Amino acid sequence: MKPAVTEQEETPSLAAYQSIVAYDGTKFEGFQRQASGRRTVQGELEQALQTIGWQESSLRAAGRTDSGVHARGQVIAYQLAWKHPPEGLSMAINANLPHDIAVRKTSLAQKDFHPRYSAVSRCYRYSLFIDKTRDPLRERYAWRTGAEADIKLLNRAADMIVGKKDFGAFGSAPRPEGSTVREIFEAVWDLQDDELWFEIEGNAFLYHMVRRLVFALLAVGNGKMELDDFLAAVQNPNKNWDGGLAPSQGLCLLSVKYD
């Protein structure tokens, strides 16, 4: 005779989880849920979680990507009463998500884990290609530029932003009166055939910081801006650099690192 199953055994207890999420940002108004009801990555994720019993008011994320920006390594955290292995949780969430978002991996997390405040660095990649003729398929995930760029000049300029600096000229803090000081660990350009990539890793980034830096660096690389002028902008955080903003579709959050 089998022992009776108690209610306590039937009901799993709340546990903390973290998931790595990838998404195509083309048809989203950014990651963060909006009061206007526009389509966002957070809104879709929370709706999918609700279908499997999630009851928190908001999930937590490593970053709030802009409208049109993609991700391969966004990290979210939440609490859920789930009685199956974490692998099954990824599958359950994905079954309720649209085709342009996917949970790539899920694992148990510490209860005090916060994907934003616990992060030690974030890595972004910006993709470009050199072509004078439109290419609709490639332009979905990269910025097409008609002018060739000097890869050595690009990397000389990129070296100037490595270190702990005030990047107030290239972006604004997430909160009013917040610090605009950020530390960049690595900034590197790579060129293969007609494709350009810029990868940058830092402890955190300002609003629009990466896209403004890409625009300025590319101006140096194709001779539209002097190296000394770029350095002056880096060294003068109180003067906003209004040279331009690289399009959102070329930017992708690659990964978030933790201790």
| Count of residues making up the chain | 259
Beta partners for residue 202, in sequence order: 122, 184
CB 52 within 8 A of CB 85: no
Q: Tokens 């040279």 — which residue?
A: 243
Phi, psi of 134 (to 5 degrees): -60, 145
Beta strands in the chain (DSSP E): 14-23, 60-61, 70-81, 101-108, 119-130, 143-145, 163-166, 181-192, 195-202, 251-258
Catalytic annotation, residues: 66
- The three-point CA angle 67-71-72 to 5° equals 170
Residue 34 CA to residue 98 CA, distance in Å, equals 18
Phi, psi of 228 (to 5 degrees): -65, -35
